[in-house]
Structure 1
Amino acid sequence: MRHILIAVLALLALALATSAFAQTSDDLDAFIARHMASSGAPGLAYAFVDGESLVSDASGVMRSDENAPVTPHTLFRIGSVTKSFTALAIVQLAEAGQLTLDDEVASHLPVFETQAPITLRQLLSHTSGYSTVQGNAAASGLTLSERGVQMAQDGPAQAPGTGWTYSNANYQILGAVIEALSGQTYPDYVESNILRPAGMHDSHVLNGEPVEGLATGHQPWMFGRRPHDAHWGDRGHAPSGGIVSSAADMARYLSLMLNGKDDLVSAASKAEMVRPAGEGSPYYGLGWALDPEGGYALHTGLTPGFEAIALLEPAQQRGVVVLINASGGMGYGEVQPLLYGVTNLALGEHYEAGAGWGPRSLYLLMLLMPLVYLAASVSAWVLRDGLRAKSGIAGIFSLWFPLVMSGVLAVVLLGLLPRLFGTTLGGLALYQPDFVLLLYACVITSAIWAVLRLVIAHTGPRA
């Protein structure tokens, strides 16, 4: 009798949870429809985990110019959410006795012996000293071993352990450690020791080869979007952002991380992964960013044409994942309201999107500047007699100063501005191709205006 009563109560609790989510799902459907239209995102999939209950759903299409629908099994690039899988692999090797988290990297990768000591924990927690720009540097065509050699030769931008800086380089080096200790490639290790045992049969690690069922990414382009087909990844970036997965598979992954059981790793190790990794990393654990006040562990992911978020609420055994086959624009076509709005609504929390006027204003400024310089060029020709009449030191200065400022503008827009985004100009072009085009347009039109003034002043009849 007691067993029957327990079973009935369990079924009643599950029914109540399902009913509550059904109500939330109605709000989610309306929210998703509204924000997909405003952002231009072609497709979205999400999953919600509550104890043993796993719910997943999807909306939209896999590619903007086709009709194939997104489903809970459609593959998306999950970007930096991959870091939690890389950290999980390191923890597995630690539990197998092949390493400790406080080992020096050089003890597993001798090429680092010439550098200041860096520990695996510092790599896991982004306190190794490698910079964001170093992590975003091109690694196409490099194996993880070769990428490790490159990072060892470059060395960290600051002394290890002296500060927190998010860098893909940390997890690329960890991928090289996984290969060195396991004797397997990073994709083979993760697929055979994490993805398949977790029942994540949709998921794969990109290695440069096409993957069937992967949605097409979409980049922002002049207030709209365009498909981005070159998304097969490369080996050098695999541990920092190379996994493709589905909402259904990610629900299984979050459920495993929340179940409090020994399976892929021990329950104690799972708990350690979502705690601060050390004094220098109060808001980052082992592959997970932390929100101590809210009690969340989460990670976002951004790759060309895709954005994702995965969130854990360990105390409540709840989790959410949202996958979108579009990356956000500079104030226009943003997808963050979709990411965070769906996440909050799935957890029963309020969400209100911000105006985003900062990046929007910057985009509009870059859009207007070329038009202003072109108008100034026309004006220079119309007022050419005045330019030709300039003389003396003041006249020479007024003629040559715009050319100097044009050079300064080129340095600022093409050199310094991309670094504010933590990348190079080429890296920024992968995520914001229209914005980079506008940067070039600003530099070119400013140079045309400055040179045209000089040509007009020194040719033709003088006043």
Structure 2
Amino acid sequence: MLARPSRRSVIGALGVASAGLALPATASADERPLPVPSGLLPGGRFDAYVAAKAAADEFSGSLLLTRDGRTVLSRSYGMADRQRAVPNGPDTLFALASVTKLFTALAVHRLAQQRKITYGARLGTYLDGFPSSVAENVTVHHLLTHTSGFGDVHMLPGYEDAEARWTTPEQTMKGLTDLIRHSEPGFEPGAGWGYSNSGYVLLGAIVEAVTGMSYYDYVREYVFAAAGMTRTRFLTRPQWEADRRIAHPYYPDEQGSWTDGVSEARYIVGDPAGDAFTTCADLDRFGRLLWRGKLLDPGWTPLMLSGKVPLPPAPSAPTGDGTGVPAQALFQCYGPVGALVSGQWTFSHGGGSTLGVSTSVEVFPETGWGVVVLSNHAGAVVPDIASLARKLITAGR
């Protein structure tokens, strides 16, 4: 079999508020009208597009479109477990890949508002064992904005052998942090932007250092439970293999047959950079509560969702029917990426791996839309699906 990138390799992230975003008033769903473009209604253009992709075996997973918390469209296609003939459904749990970073970012912001973490503090303030060139120059701000110079811990020499030896979450966090301690940043902190799984692992280690709790316990109590995300959790590989509620990821082998990615997952549990598990409904709830300012104290939500680092304009994301939408501006925020699309700000995050995980969440604060797409098939169709939803939402307002 040909060598592939690490299963943790990200597909990418897109979306979030501008440097001066003012969050809208939190009118209830009963107080404001819910105009819905016809293309987003059941049987409309979007629904037909996704159904066609599923019929061609290009999409397997679940999606949810909501407006002010009300379901506009909910669909599930394909199999969560092909061997046991378990179909995907609205309650299926999917591995999130890099969307998990949003939970880690929120954990950091909760601790910042409690004055336990400072954005400008140096890495050495919280974690020891790093060379002075790193400990005294990398800041929490750099880690949150992917400007630390660190790259992908999952691609470091020795990672694959080490992950096979870790049998507990505690060993995973310590092992990942130790690998990063012995790595070299690719550029001076603040001198560039480079997507960094390593940076978010270190943020998780900082959460542990300042709270005295494991990262997993802290996020479970102060992120998942606080947001009412009753189905969201970190799961071990044995749970992933055994529980019928959890989607197995699939990728095509060299002969084009679908191969179960869980069988090649050597790690025991996800980490602060990726692979918590959730449902469409839980992730939609998280996004909605976040932009409405319900998960942080007043003033802290705009801080998290405001642009920190301008990013080069990205080309429109092409879809099968040519509906890519160019972003007019992009900013790296504290967690997500801000995108100005057709005059409307959005925030979102995506992620995935070559072994069959592909995910996207996008929220439109000005118009109350939420779009969640969770797939257990490898491929580029999830960005296409999200792009079409974005096109119809921003055109229909």
> If the length of structure 1 is used for normalisation, what is the TM-score?
0.65
1:89, CA displacement in angstroms? 0.4
- When Rg is computed on C-alpha atoms for both structures, the one with the higher figure is 1
Structure-2 separation of matches of 1:227 and 1:119: 39
Deviations 1:90-125 (A, max 9, x none): 000101110111111110002225333100110010
- 1:230 partner SS: helix
Structure-2 separation of matches of 1:191 and 1:91: 15
Asked if 1:181 is matched to 2:210, the reply is yes
Conservation of the 8 A alpha-carbon contact between 1:76 and 1:323: yes
User: Hey, what does 1:378 align to over in structure 2?
Assistant: none
Greater strand content: 2
Percent of aligned pairs sharing the same letter:
25
Q: Aligned match of 2:304 in 269, 273, 276? A: 273
Asked if 1:79 is matched to 2:111, the reply is no
User: Hey, what does 2:334 align to over in structure 1?
Assistant: 286
**CA 1:279–1:28 in 2, change beyond 3 Å: closer, same or farther?**
closer
User: Hey, what does 1:301 align to over in structure 2?
Assistant: 351
User: Hey, what does 1:368 align to over in structure 2?
Assistant: none
Q: Residue 146 of structure 2 aligns to which amino acid in structure 1?
A: H
- 1:320 partner SS: strand
Conservation of the 8 A alpha-carbon contact between 1:115 and 1:152: no
User: Hey, what does 1:217 align to over in structure 2?
Assistant: 249
Structure-1 separation of matches of 2:228 and 2:265: 23
Superposed, 1:30-41 pairs within 5 Å as: 30-41=48-59
Deviations 1:329-360 (A, max 9, x none): xxxxx42465335633663659xxxxxxxxxx
Deviations 1:51-109 (A, max 9, x none): 23245432232123443222211100111011111000000010111011111111000
Q: Aligned match of 2:232 in 199, 203, 209? A: 203
**CA 1:338–1:22 in 2, change beyond 3 Å: closer, same or farther?**
closer
User: Hey, what does 1:193 align to over in structure 2?
Assistant: 222
Q: Residue 110 of structure 2 aligns to which amino acid in structure 1?
A: Q
User: Hey, what does 1:136 align to over in structure 2?
Assistant: 155
Q: Aligned match of 1:153 in 179, 182, 185? A: 182
- 1:276 partner SS: coil
Q: Residue 53 of structure 1 aligns to which amino acid in structure 2?
A: R
Larger RCO, structure (CA 8 Å, separation 6 or more): 2
Conservation of the 8 A alpha-carbon contact between 1:136 and 1:167: no
Deviations 1:221-260 (A, max 9, x none): 234422222377746851001211001111111111222x
- 1:347 partner SS: helix
Q: Residue 344 of structure 1 aligns to which amino acid in structure 2?
A: R
RMSD, aligned α-carbons? 2.9
1:188, CA displacement in angstroms? 1.1
Superposed, 1:43-442 pairs within 5 Å as: 43-55=60-72, 56-112=74-130, 114-116=132-134, 117-132=137-152, 134-137=153-156, 138=159, 140=163, 141=166, 142-211=171-240, 212=243, 213-221=245-253, 222-230=255-263, 234=267, 237-259=270-292, 261=293, 263-278=294-309, 283-294=331-342, 295-303=345-353, 304-328=355-379, 334-336=380-382, 339-341=385-387, 343-344=389-390, 347=393
Structure-1 separation of matches of 2:149 and 2:338: 20
Q: Residue 291 of structure 2 aligns to which amino acid in structure 1?
A: L
Structure-1 separation of matches of 2:264 and 2:36: 36
Structure-2 separation of matches of 1:175 and 1:225: 34
Greater helix content: 1
Structure-2 separation of matches of 1:244 and 1:178: 20
**CA 1:307–1:256 in 2, change beyond 3 Å: closer, same or farther?**
same
Q: Which segment is superposed worse, 145-154 or 273-282? A: 273-282
1:151, CA displacement in angstroms? 1.2
Conservation of the 8 A alpha-carbon contact between 1:47 and 1:322: yes
1:169, CA displacement in angstroms? 0.5
Conservation of the 8 A alpha-carbon contact between 1:81 and 1:241: yes
Segments of structure 1 that go 5 or more residues without pairing to the other structure are 1-8, 329-333, 351-463
- 1:111 partner SS: coil
Structure-2 separation of matches of 1:65 and 1:235: 22
Deviations 1:290-332 (A, max 9, x none): 223552222111032110011122222322110011111xxxx
Structure-2 separation of matches of 1:128 and 1:22: 40
**CA 1:12–1:174 in 2, change beyond 3 Å: closer, same or farther?**
closer
Structure-2 separation of matches of 1:112 and 1:69: 47
Structure-1 separation of matches of 2:249 and 2:92: 12
